[in-house]
Amino acid sequence: MSKILVTGGTGYIGSHTVVELHHAGYTPIIIDNLSNSNLQILDQIEKIIGVKPEFHQFDLCDEAKVLEFVKNNTDIQGIIHFAASKAVGESVEKPLKYYRNNMFSLINLLQAYQGKKIDFVFSSSCTVYGEPDVLPVTEAAPVKKATSPYGNTKQIAEEILAETAEANANYQVIALRYFNPVGAHESALIGELPLGVPQNLLPFITQTAIGKREKLTVFGGDYDTVDGSCVRDYIHVVDLAKAHVAAIRLLEKGNPNGKYDVFNIGTGKGYSVLEAIAAFEKASGQKLNYSVGPRREGDVVQVWGDVNKSASGLGWQASLGIDDMMSSAWAWEKYLSENPIG
């Protein structure tokens, strides 16, 4: 079985991707510094797939540690790179943290493996489109000036990857530009596990519903959208994880589009924040305590993706809808209330 390195593999998307890689017949190997995750997630993964994945704890910004790992793991055939700081709001407040963590980790990894043939799947984001001119946004849309340091790190990373793939015969790269991951595994054994105050909408919704948070604030109610709140393309994390498996498979076969390619990963449908709240209330039967507050710096008003290229090129499309997203996230929150992690 092919060994696939999953950086950030105990994180939210990473842990679900480890599960789907195993189901697809791959052997996932995890590197994570546990800065935004918990070691107990390995036990949770084991409950789902029956084996505990190989795990290495260190920071990819440590070049010496990366080189040591590569020296001792010569049989890695693919890399799925999630490890990065990822909160838009925090990146505006702490830009240097984001540039250091997100850039150094990627460069160290690419340098260390440049002498070996590697299939590389990068965790990119729809934030590279900024505020798009046309919706739904396609992969051919211009990459605009980022609205946050987080978004800018994704743009810079894509440029680094494209140029590295072009210059290095050993690299094939796919960047998956995904929209807003939500939901949890159907077992309710893994899901989004933010440390401290959640930076993303859905864990704040579920934590408010269960009583961990007193109230949810919706950032902005005066945008030019269906109800004044921001609009996003929410994608179930299990569908998203399966897209990474599809990307690895495409690279194994050889991507006819060349050594570097990008794909949108979403549902192709936008929901406003208030619509997402209503969907959660319907799926959970819980009335949410929330209010509409001022806009948040760095937020894009509305974005959702055209996913035709992913359907035709990756042979992948989302199968889980908004009700699945909300009900699974709520099941995970209830599990955590009885089985705390961390």
What amino acid positions are annotated as catalytic residues? 150
The residue behind tokens 């000036």 is 145
Both tokens of residue 28? 């996932």
d(CA 202, CA 192): 9
Q: What is the largest CA-CA distance in the chain?
A: 55
* Contact predicate 291/218, CB 8 Å: yes
302 three-state secondary structure = strand
Closest-CA residue to 121 (of 1, 253, 258, 7) = 7
The residue behind tokens 């290229």 is 309
Which letter does DSSP use for residue 275 in this model? H
Which letter does DSSP use for residue 137 in this model? B
d(CA 285, CA 279): 10
Cβ-proximal residues to 248 (8 Å cutoff; 6+ apart), any chain: 2, 4, 21, 26, 78, 80, 119, 121
